[in-house]
Structure 1
Amino acid sequence: MSEQNRFSGKRRLVFFIVLGALALCVLGRYAYLMLGKEEEGGGARTAINAGRGPILDRNGRLLAFETRLGNITLWRPEMKNSAELSTELAPLLETSPVDIRERIENSPSDFVYLKKRVEGSTLTLIEDAIAEKKLQGVGIEPIVGRIYPERNLAAQIIGFTGDEGMGLEGIEFAFENELAPSTGGTRRSGNQVFLTIDINVQHILESIAGQIMKDSRAESVMFLAMDPRSGDILGSASLPGFDPNDFRNSGENTRRNNPATWPYEPGSVFKVFSLSALMDSGAISGNTIFTCNGHYERVSSRGERTIIRCLAAHGRVSARDIIVYSCNTGAAYAADRIGTDPFYALLKDYGFGARTGIGLPGETAGLLRSTERWSDRTKPTIAMGQEIGVSALQMLQAASAVANDGIMKPPRIVSRIVSADGKISREYPSGESRRVLKAETARAMRSYMTDVTSSIGTGWRANVEDLSLAVKTGTAEIIDPQTGSYSTTDFIASCVALLPAEAPSLILYLVIVKPQGEILGGRIAAPQIREAAEALINYLGIPRGRNPQIAHSGAVSIPAVPYPAVNETVPDFTGISKRQLLPLLLRDDLTFQISGDGWVARQSPAPGTPLAADTVIVLEFE
């Protein structure tokens, strides 16, 4: 053999030795990972540390949080008897043996999903059965699930997540990067998102809205509450609603956040803004008189005749009378006192035709056409609340200017972002405030609206004893999409209230879409405003004649909310609330499975049990 051939042979030998060593390393690493994972997993136990941050109301009440869920699977080659297995699994999965057996036998694949998104208590029972060598072939595919403990309450605002744990709608979608951030590809605990919503206020609004839906057989209802001083949305009911825990069984119309996304013609409530804008511009004054003989009529230079009907012939009317009687004729004649472009500019200044910037997905800008597309009828018609599309949020925003002596405060729904360790990482102030009206104009308009609750006003049914309300009612026609003209059967009834009228700290706005039977806002919306006001005045501590306000220094000492220390053993959680548990729920080294509401009534493992890396702490609330 030549020297060159011997050298080539040695090179081949070295190559195969190196290749073999690399293969052994790869196999060894694979075995280590597999065995290590098996050992860490603790057999059938599946522990997942929640990463997505919670959503909370303004007082720290949980609205959305992560918990351990799992998909129950079957590998058919390991199954002995489908009938026996179905009988054993049926009570655990709360379904019939027939359904399970059909799912098994009709599957085209050996791998079968028996049930998805099973909650932790059921997972524990199945894990125990698997550990006892029962349920051959059954496995658990661990997933992190999102729980919405308040179910339908504020569901359209909160939104929901999909199977991959990403937000699909609402705050879950809009604040995806805050709730579930990633760092270098490694997932870490997400931030906490605090809303301005007060769950108790939300419950009051949704309860009243639900009764309205039942009594009026309306297509939908919106009921909102806002603090005009801060722009905080305290409650925003939108019915019909849905349960985000079971969003797949809901329709698109129930998931839509109507107060933010749906534009509609507001009707006579809009006179508050058109009349105050006209007064502020100097086009009219509080002493300007118009004559209402039951209709407005104007013939343009081109011979175009415009006629707008009024509910009655009100005779001589001032700006106050137009608001008190909701006079269409007076509002239309008042609009004739200003040019088209200046009137358009005043409406834009109120925020109509633009998004409020609240940060909710799909927010509408409404509809305020450019003046080039206005007819001779447009200006007087807009003055009475038609030929303009608004959102409920835009109406609240505009109302804040009347409430705040002319300063408009944009609404906000998120107050702050707090990191998992409890540090505030970002405040979320509302948008920039700006002056829309002179202070005296806003006060005059509130005075007019207060008279709406008098015996001669359209909103007398909203009157609350010992407290003055500034109110405006409305009844708007709805365009029939089939004919392109206003429907003779479908209407929107509404009412807005600022309270107390002298210095408002609360705005209530109710919209009833397509009520059946009674349709006038003064008759079906005003009484519900009174009901909500009565409840919220007491809850929010708004001073009234029989509920006087007590002055104090303003310094309040609030003790820290205690929570059990978790060290080497499982503590006693009995009697602990969810809010007290929040710091523990956000820890990456602990895995909780919780169910129910209220306070901890039962737990597993028992207090004093040594705490292992794979321990799942099961808490049942009542």
Structure 2
Amino acid sequence: MTAPGTPAFDDWRVTLKARLLVVVSVLALWVVGIETKLVYLQIFQHADLLGRAERQQERTQASPAKRGDILDRRGRVLAASADADSIIAVPTAIVGATEAANRLCGALGDCDDKDRRALAEKLGQRRAFAYVRRQVTPDQARRVADLHLDGIGSIKESKRFYPNKELAAHLLGWVGVDNRGLGGIEYAYDPQIRGKAGTILIHTDARHQAFSRFERPPTSGSTLELTIDEYLQHIAERELHAGVVQNRAAGGTAIIMNPHTGEILAMANEPTFNPNAYREFDDDERRNRAVQDLYEPGSTFKVVTASAAIEEKVVPIDTMIDTSPGVLHIAGRSKPVTEASHHNYQVLSFSDVIIRSSNIGAVKIGFRVGTERLSRYVARFGFGRPASPDFPGESPGIVWDAAKWTESALASVSMGYQIGVTPLQMVTAVSSVANGGELIEPRAVRAVYRDNRRYAVQPKVVRRTVSADTAAALTGIMEGVVANPHGTAKKAQIPGYPIAGKTGTAAKLVNGRYSTSDYNASFVGFIPSRNPAVAIIVVTDSPRTWPATGGAVSAPVFKRIAEATIRYLGVGPTINPTPAVFVARRDGRSGAPTRRADSDDPVVSLAADGPSGTVPDLRGLSAREAVRKLVKLGMSARVSGDGFVVSQEPVAGAPIEGEGLCRLVLDRWPSRHDLGAGRP
């Protein structure tokens, strides 16, 4: 036996010490590793891990804003938004994607085999969210809800509605399912109308159950008040459609414009479409011909040629022009210039050149004006550039560089060929003659309502085209186009009203050649000629009746539109007018009319889009309309006076409290102060 204290006796201590050292070393390395990993995660991976945690624990959803309404000049709604159901799915929670797709298609009721397969594929993906169908009808939403399918639900989205369907469709445009404007005014003013989306922040636990919710509400878009009048728009569309059908034409355009302010009162196109179902129509039907279609204006452009000649004093109005023998040969031109129907007008006065629409006479006037001066007046009247910023996709037209004009080109432009214009450009140019020589920018927006205030859009004078004397002289000549027995627009005559206008008939270019069967027949004019209320243009594309001229095809449409317009605007006859009859009132009240035909400021509810539970703006409404609106909100009314609402208590926007009683004061003649409260 080995004695205590010997080396053999201490071997186990050495072994234990070595083992402890190994264990401690391993533990130390493990701790260092853990610390290193923690440092790496806390410092180098901190931002990434924090973002992943937020994505797992927080869910952000956009809260779409409500688009502002679009109104006509009298406050009537042309476009509005309302909540619609969209069917959504959580594919990860769906068992049996094919069966779910079949049941959903059965509830929707309009799926084909392709739609069914696409839906089954979408539901079979491992995704947290997917749209099944956006903005469905209430019946479809109810049928889907009745299925009680796991992973299938619905959310509310804003959908655009156009209560008048096709009315002013090309001007208004349309809105896609993402609440963005895709055409017309909806597109041009989309940033203002769309508003600003809100945000919903949802916190979830480890089981993805929501336990808190924070919301930043959306900001509603601005309301637009357009210059058009709903009734006049209806008249223009009705008469244009009748003219296109009667003449078996391919299409057409009609525009009613205030020549003094540039306001577009109506803009009609044929064919048209329903913006509520814009996908069902092709691009040709959705095209705004009034601003996108180019055509050679033909004889209506002789107004520009005559204006240049009179303003520059190169051709006095009493000048006689020899148009014999009805044919004019020009060097470098393959075909001679001829008169319509091969007439020989012989010697014509300057006025008769326009009244009878002589091509040879217009060419000879153009030669005296010259290339430099005529090209300058073409630019002055606004041709070759977009007329207005209110119309997206507007064509600037086609105007050749004056340096490239040959003698043949000068002849063509003088009589309205070899130049491309839009109907809007043409009526704007003639409006400058109607208002005394100022080119005013056409516009479709009259005011913008933002933050309960009305911001009016002011007329913009672009430049002076001709002097007032030249405009007056040209107006007298254009009156003869309608009133003179030899005029080309006798079918535009309206008894009691002088009309100044000009017809145009231009062959269309088909495959690089001028057609002998397809024409653009147009008429542009203003009424009453000496104090015009409106300027109107009608362009008919490829009429199939004979004669296919502006005087035979478009002038009658102009007449019907003009008759209804001046009657609606209350414009009395100026030729042999009927004497006025005055009747004395016995009740001592003012003889002022109940409402003006066209008040300066329409009555528009500024609180219409306010939060629920608030009092609407009732000013300007009749008693019946105001009471009906209050009843829908569960309120009652106490009415005093008669006529229209001029004040209310509680005021618009106040919360509905107590019994919901609203006191209304009515008057027969709302003052501008009463109706304009809250406006700048």
TM-score normalised by length of structure 1: 0.78
> In the TM superposition, what are the counterparts of 1:201-280 in structure 2 within 5 Å?
201-280=232-311
> In the TM superposition, what are the counterparts of 1:502-517 in structure 2 within 5 Å?
502-517=530-545
Aligned-pair CA distance for 1:233: 0.6
* Residue 161 of structure 2 corresponds to residue 147 of structure 1: yes
Out of 450, 457, 469, the position equivalent to 1:428 is 457
Corresponding position of 1:53: 68
**Is the contact between residue 72 and residue 78 of structure 2 (CA under 8 Å) also seen in structure 1?**
yes
After superposition, what is the alpha-carbon deviation per residue over 1:87-108, rounded to whole angstroms, capped at 9, x for unaligned?
Answer: 8985x74658x87995699656
Out of 53, 69, 85, the position equivalent to 1:70 is 85
Residue 14 and residue 93 in structure 1: after superposition, are their counterparts in 2 closer, same or farther (change >3 A)? closer
**Is the contact between residue 323 and residue 361 of structure 2 (CA under 8 Å) also seen in structure 1?**
yes
Out of 597, 609, 614, the position equivalent to 1:585 is 609
Out of 171, 178, 187, the position equivalent to 1:157 is 171
Corresponding position of 1:322: 353
Aligned residue identity for 1:448: I
Structure 1: distance between partners of 2:65 and 2:579 = 47
Corresponding position of 1:463: 493
**Is the contact between residue 97 and residue 123 of structure 2 (CA under 8 Å) also seen in structure 1?**
no
Corresponding position of 1:393: 424
Instruction: Note the aligned Cα RMSD (angstroms).
Output: 4.3
Corresponding position of 1:176: 190
Corresponding position of 1:43: none
Aligned residue identity for 1:116: R
Corresponding position of 2:526: 498
Corresponding position of 2:570: 541
After superposition, what is the alpha-carbon deviation per residue over 1:262-300, rounded to whole angstroms, capped at 9, x for unaligned?
Answer: 221001111122112211111101101111225342455
Out of 122, 132, 137, the position equivalent to 2:139 is 122
Aligned-pair CA distance for 1:115: 4.0
- Range with bigger deviation, 267-276 or 178-187: 178-187
Aligned length: 556
DSSP 3-state at the match of 1:282: coil
> In the TM superposition, what are the counterparts of 1:192-207 in structure 2 within 5 Å?
192-207=223-238
DSSP 3-state at the match of 2:368: coil
The answer for unaligned runs of 5 or more in structure 2 is: 1-23, 200-215, 583-589, 597-602, 615-624, 636-680
Aligned residue identity for 1:170: G
Aligned-pair CA distance for 1:557: 8.9
Aligned-pair CA distance for 1:383: 1.4
Corresponding position of 1:40: none
- Range with bigger deviation, 541-550 or 456-465: 541-550
Structure 1: distance between partners of 2:118 and 2:253 = 46
Structure 2: distance between partners of 1:49 and 1:588 = 17
Aligned-pair CA distance for 1:584: 3.2
Aligned-pair CA distance for 1:182: 3.6
Structure 2: distance between partners of 1:105 and 1:164 = 20
Residue 458 and residue 558 in structure 1: after superposition, are their counterparts in 2 closer, same or farther (change >3 A)? closer
Structure 2: distance between partners of 1:558 and 1:540 = 12
Structure 2: distance between partners of 1:449 and 1:73 = 63
- Range with bigger deviation, 7-16 or 401-410: 7-16
Corresponding position of 1:438: 467
Aligned residue identity for 1:415: R
Aligned-pair CA distance for 1:51: 2.5
DSSP 3-state at the match of 1:66: strand
**Is the contact between residue 134 and residue 177 of structure 2 (CA under 8 Å) also seen in structure 1?**
no
Aligned-pair CA distance for 1:430: 3.6
Aligned-pair CA distance for 1:603: 12
Residue 549 and residue 210 in structure 1: after superposition, are their counterparts in 2 closer, same or farther (change >3 A)? farther
> In the TM superposition, what are the counterparts of 1:407-422 in structure 2 within 5 Å?
407-419=438-450, 421-422=451-452
Structure 2: distance between partners of 1:491 and 1:280 = 31
Aligned-pair CA distance for 1:163: 2.4
Residue 261 and residue 31 in structure 1: after superposition, are their counterparts in 2 closer, same or farther (change >3 A)? closer
DSSP 3-state at the match of 1:585: coil
**Is the contact between residue 494 and residue 510 of structure 1 (CA under 8 Å) also seen in structure 2?**
yes
Out of 337, 345, 352, the position equivalent to 2:376 is 345
Aligned-pair CA distance for 1:494: 0.5
Aligned residue identity for 1:139: G
After superposition, what is the alpha-carbon deviation per residue over 1:519-568, rounded to whole angstroms, capped at 9, x for unaligned?
Answer: 111111111111111111111111225677899x9999979xxxxxxxxx
Structure 2: distance between partners of 1:105 and 1:604 = 44
Structure 2: distance between partners of 1:440 and 1:81 = 78
* Residue 350 of structure 2 corresponds to residue 284 of structure 1: no
DSSP 3-state at the match of 2:537: strand
Residue 61 and residue 267 in structure 1: after superposition, are their counterparts in 2 closer, same or farther (change >3 A)? same
Structure 1: distance between partners of 2:431 and 2:365 = 23
Aligned residue identity for 2:142: L
Residue 607 and residue 313 in structure 1: after superposition, are their counterparts in 2 closer, same or farther (change >3 A)? same
After superposition, what is the alpha-carbon deviation per residue over 1:203-247, rounded to whole angstroms, capped at 9, x for unaligned?
Answer: 111111111222222112000000001110101111111111111
After superposition, what is the alpha-carbon deviation per residue over 1:31-67, rounded to whole angstroms, capped at 9, x for unaligned?
Answer: 9978x99xxxxxxxxx977422222221222222222
**Is the contact between residue 254 and residue 537 of structure 2 (CA under 8 Å) also seen in structure 1?**
yes
**Is the contact between residue 64 and residue 157 of structure 2 (CA under 8 Å) also seen in structure 1?**
no
Corresponding position of 1:485: 513
**Is the contact between residue 50 and residue 66 of structure 1 (CA under 8 Å) also seen in structure 2?**
no
**Percent of aligned pairs sharing the same letter:** 28
Out of 367, 386, 400, the position equivalent to 2:398 is 367
Residue 364 and residue 555 in structure 1: after superposition, are their counterparts in 2 closer, same or farther (change >3 A)? farther
**Is the contact between residue 296 and residue 333 of structure 1 (CA under 8 Å) also seen in structure 2?**
no
DSSP 3-state at the match of 2:504: strand
Aligned-pair CA distance for 1:391: 1.1
